[in-house]
Copies of this chain bind each other. A is one copy, B any other.
Amino acid sequence: MIKDMTQDEITLYIIKTLKENKKTEFEAVIEELHPYDVAKIYQDLPEKHKARFLLFLKFDVLADLMEELEKEEQLDLLNKLGIEKSGKVLDLMDNDDLALLLNELSPEKKDSLLSGMKTEESNAVKGIMNYPPETAGRIMTNRFVWIRDYFSVREAVEKFKVFAGFAESINYLYVIDEARKLVGVVSYRDLLLAEPEEKIRTIMYERVISVPVTADQEVVAKMAERYDFLAIPVVDEDNVLVGIVTVDDIIDIVIKEANEDIEKLSASGKSIDFETKTLVAAARRLPWLILLLFIGLISGRIISSFEDTLQQVVALAFFMPMIAGMTGNTGTQSLAVVVRGLISHDIDKGVITRLVMRELGVGITIGVTCAILISIIAYIWQGNLILGAVVGCSLFFTLIIGTLAGTIIPLILYRFKIDPAVASGPLITTLNDIFSLLTYFGIATMFLKHLM
């Protein structure tokens, strides 16, 4: 009945059923909705209707709803539900989503929530939380269905039917041996295509691609992207199947990792979004800014040590921002190429050598072009041939230095297993300020007597 209604009309209808206490009509509508839509309606609902809304929802829908909400909303919802109902809802949530919620709570709050859950479920969540953040172990779920290779297709489907509510959208059944080792995989598609009496052994795919439980989540995402998988099995060191990572989580990872790269490249600090409060956002941005302020003062120190040169040829100051800016810009460009390239490439010595040589070539090409251009402009503007030559020559060298700094610094960080994106744009820019001022005033001082 609701299929042609807009989101707003549905919300109004839901409010009507709540006011008139019509649970059957309420449930009929909710059943037609996706979890995302249920969450939207819950968020739009006036506060006074929320209690009955939650009262009317079944536990599995509540669990789905929880998974769509932000942390604060989740905690608020659990408060509204009370301890006992909370436990039942948490039992039904995907382990990885639950681990994410619990991870940021105080130990007392965490224990209180875990104590309301079934022992097996709370143990599963605790298990996940023992793995380091951003690894396969941390983002996997235990909501998968395993079968044995001597099952017939009919038996596999029977088992699947029993556990279907439990293993919602996985699209593969995993085949394990008596030691729970992963030995094969069959897709729902394979099951539909096979005859009921065929053995799983004959239709299963044996060369299963899996990831170790300690694999970085970026590696997991890379595998899913390469192989177009809808889920990837996670195994421990003995090849025992311990969980799966599903494609919806992988999309979330890809988005999160890209955002993190952008945050780091812009040194905007961890997780500032539209909802972050002013003081929190300022506090997250300040540490980098203060560090950069001090590095910026080094530039000042360099200029002050060339005070005599500057005093005698004030025109040198006119080109300072341009030279520093250009060096910073070319560095940022190289940095972006390297940071994103590292994500999609397998890195070896050959790749790195080729990349550094390429960027050196780019630096020289850009340097020659911009240097000639600026020499002519500086000569025309200031009517001083030597000044033009000094500015051009400086720009040539600083552009090469800037390009190489933007390339080599992130590569060195990567080599030492530090995320190369922490060599943020502003850091590279500020470092390049220093390099460029040293070069510029160094060259200018050498030619000082010709400049005056």
Q: Which residues of A contact B (CB under 8 A)?
A: 2-3, 32-34, 36, 157, 160-161, 164, 169, 171, 187-189, 191-193, 205-207, 209, 221, 224-228, 230, 247-248, 250-252, 254-255, 258-259, 261-263, 265-269, 272-274, 276-279, 281-282, 285-286, 288-290, 292-293, 296-297, 299-301, 303-304, 307, 310-311, 314-315, 317-326, 328-330, 332-337, 339-341, 344-345, 351, 354-355, 358, 361-362, 365-366, 369-370, 373-374, 377, 425-426, 429-430, 433, 437
| A370/B254 contact (C-beta < 8 A), A207-B33, A262-B261, A303-B317 known | no
Q: Which residues of B contact A334 (CB under 8 A)?
A: 268
The answer to whether B278 touches A337, judged by C-beta atoms less than 8 angstroms apart, is: no
Chain B nearest CB: distance from A337 CB in Å?
Answer: 5
Q: A225-B248, A265-B265 known; 10 other A-B pairs, CB under 8 Å?
A: A161-B193, A169-B187, A171-B189, A274-B341, A276-B358, A288-B333, A290-B369, A292-B329, A310-B317, A329-B430
The answer to whether B426 touches A332, judged by C-beta atoms less than 8 angstroms apart, is: yes
Bound-state Cα–Cα, A255 to B257, Å:
10
| A189/B188 contact (C-beta < 8 A), A266-B333, A322-B300, A333-B267 known | yes
Q: Which residues of B contact A426 (CB under 8 A)?
A: 325, 328-329, 332-333
The answer to whether A285 touches B317, judged by C-beta atoms less than 8 angstroms apart, is: no
Instruction: State the oligomeric state as a number of copies.
Output: 2
The answer to whether A285 touches B370, judged by C-beta atoms less than 8 angstroms apart, is: no
The answer to whether B322 touches A377, judged by C-beta atoms less than 8 angstroms apart, is: no
For this complex, 7 residue pairs linking A to B, each with C-beta atoms less than 8 Å apart, are A34-B209, A266-B333, A267-B332, A281-B337, A296-B323, A299-B321, A333-B426
The residue in chain B whose Cβ has the minimal distance to the Cβ of A249 is B228
Task: Please name the 10 residue pairs, one residue from A and one from B, whose CB atoms are nearest each other, closest first.
Answer: A258-B258, A296-B322, A266-B336, A278-B361, A228-B248, A299-B321, A300-B318, A282-B365, A268-B333, A188-B188
The answer to whether B319 touches A32, judged by C-beta atoms less than 8 angstroms apart, is: no
Q: Which residues of B contact A226 (CB under 8 A)?
A: 36
The answer to whether B230 touches A247, judged by C-beta atoms less than 8 angstroms apart, is: yes
The residue in chain B whose Cβ has the minimal distance to the Cβ of A334 is B268
Q: Which residue, of A191, A319, A340, A429, has the highest number of chain B Cβ atoms within 10 A?
A: A340
Contacting A227 at CB < 8 Å: which of B34, B191, B340, B365? B34
Q: Which residues of B contact A330 (CB under 8 A)?
A: 285, 289
The residue in chain B whose Cβ has the minimal distance to the Cβ of A259 is B340
Bound-state Cα–Cα, A268 to B337, Å:
7
Contacting A370 at CB < 8 Å: which of B277, B290, B370? B290
The answer to whether B325 touches A373, judged by C-beta atoms less than 8 angstroms apart, is: no
Bound-state Cα–Cα, A355 to B272, Å:
12
The answer to whether A433 touches B325, judged by C-beta atoms less than 8 angstroms apart, is: yes
Q: Which residues of B contact A251 (CB under 8 A)?
A: 221, 224-225, 247, 250-251, 254
Q: Which residues of B contact A323 (CB under 8 A)?
A: 296
Bound-state Cα–Cα, A227 to B33, Å:
10
